[in-house]
Amino acid sequence: MGAETKRLESVAESARKAGQQLDALEAKINKISSALNGLSGSGLTGLANGVKKLSAAMQNMNDVKTKDFTRLAKNIQKLTALDTDGLDGAA
């Protein structure tokens, strides 16, 4: 009888641990559900529209050669280094 009792206690302990793991899984699923419910349909639509516009704008970049793009980037860097306070004072 002692061996049978130990086996039943072991099964009961395994069932208790499984129940705890199921509770933890349920909590995680509830968190995911809450996060998904928080997503706004209009927000996702806005994001999709923004990506679509970005994609359309980037199509024109196919025609820009690397040399031209590099030159543009260097000139933009030069513009950012301008003394804007001095320009404001001169105006």
What are the tens digits of pLDDT across the range 14-71? 998 999 999 999 999 999 888 887 776 767 788 889 999 988 888 877 777 888 888 9
- What torsion, rounded to 10 degrees, do the Cα atoms 63, 69, 72, 78 define? 170
- Give the confidence band of 91 by pLDDT, cuts at 50, 70, 90: low
Residue 90 has what pLDDT?
A: 67
- What torsion, rounded to 10 degrees, do the Cα atoms 35, 43, 55, 64 define? -100
Return d(Cα 66, Cα 73) in angstroms, integer.
10
Q: Report phi then psi at 83, rounded to 5.
A: -80, 90
Q: Report phi then psi at 64, rounded to 5.
A: -85, 125
Helix then strand count (H, E) for the chain reads 4, 0
DSSP state of 81: T
